[in-house]
Structure 1
Amino acid sequence: MSATDAATTRQDRFAHGLEILTQVDGEGGQKVVDSLADISPELGHQVVAWAFGEIYDRPALPPRDRQLVTLGMLTALGGCEPQLEVHINAALNVGLTPEEIVEALLHAAVYCGMPKALNATFVAKKVFAERDLLPVRNQ
């Protein structure tokens, strides 16, 4: 493979990833990539080309299921509140309801603990308020 082919492939992967990123995360994803431009543009490129262009676009899981997995993982990791904000918005963008998101975060409490589930739920509350989706009532 020549250097030109590699550059084209790299750019093609980025362009495809940007398309998926925009579909899933909307402007929130682009803001994350833009915020990396001055410190680690390569990390921004990898988020777009690899995470979205290759992983998020795999056919075995639909986008809403991928977002449920992502919300669970970010909740379990803890300390990922900025990423949770982006992905709660993404979950809404791909068809999850506020009630389904809250239920997923409640379910996560069983496996990763109350403090992490509480932190994630407060992020969801912030996102829902910004999108005029409060109140969310659960049983």
Structure 2
Amino acid sequence: MTRDERFENGLTMLRRIDGEAGQKVIDSLADISPELGHQVVAWAFGDIYTRPGLPLRDRQLVTLGALTALGGCEPQLEVHINAALNVGLTPQEIVEVLLHSAVYCGMPRALNATFVAKKVFAERDLLPVTAP
């Protein structure tokens, strides 16, 4: 596959998962590192997200857990919490994965991620979230 084809595949997947938010991230890199923007689209979304091994909802569960564990990724968490909702995860499932993350990455990181989720849910009129 050519560089341009990988980018186009990735752009299609990015739009499917992240909608407008993903494009805003790519656009924000245009004046500083367009190559990073290209790689996010072509590699992350064109090569990795399109692989057949996991459904998109499972990929988003992994992404939420990883971003929570890393800490300091609140802007990316916001994008990916929206993406998780876009691919079919429920607010309850997202809250559960963030709660589960507390065991492995600590309470402060899980709290930060949960507050990001709360912001996203409020913006999408999904509060209050009821327990499963």
TM-score by length of 1: 0.93
Instruction: Give the structure 2 partner of residue 92 of structure 1.
Output: 85
Equivalent of 1:34, from 23, 27, 30? 27
1:1-139 correspondence runs (5 A): 9-138=2-131
Q: Bigger radius of gyration, 1 or 2?
A: 1
Can you list the C-alpha shifts for 1:40-95, whole angstroms capped at 9, x where unaligned? 00000000000000000100100000000000000000000000000000000000
> RMSD value over aligned CA atoms?
1.0
Find the aligned partners of 1:118 and 1:101 in 2 and give their Cα distance.
13
For residue 60 of structure 1, give the secondary structure of its aligned residue in structure 2. Answer: coil
Find the aligned partners of 1:26 and 1:59 in 2 and give their Cα distance.
21
- How many pairs align? 132
The letter for the 1-side match of 2:93 is E
Structure 2: stretches of 5+ with no match in the other structure: none
Find the aligned partners of 2:3 and 2:98 in 1 and give their Cα distance.
36
Find the aligned partners of 1:35 and 1:130 in 2 and give their Cα distance.
22
Find the aligned partners of 1:134 and 1:42 in 2 and give their Cα distance.
38
How far did residue 138 of structure 1 move?
Answer: 2.0
Once superposed, which parts of structure 1, at least 4 consecutive aligned residues long, lie more than 3 Å away?
none
TM-score by length of 2: 0.98
Structure 1: stretches of 5+ with no match in the other structure: 1-7
How far did residue 137 of structure 1 move?
Answer: 1.9
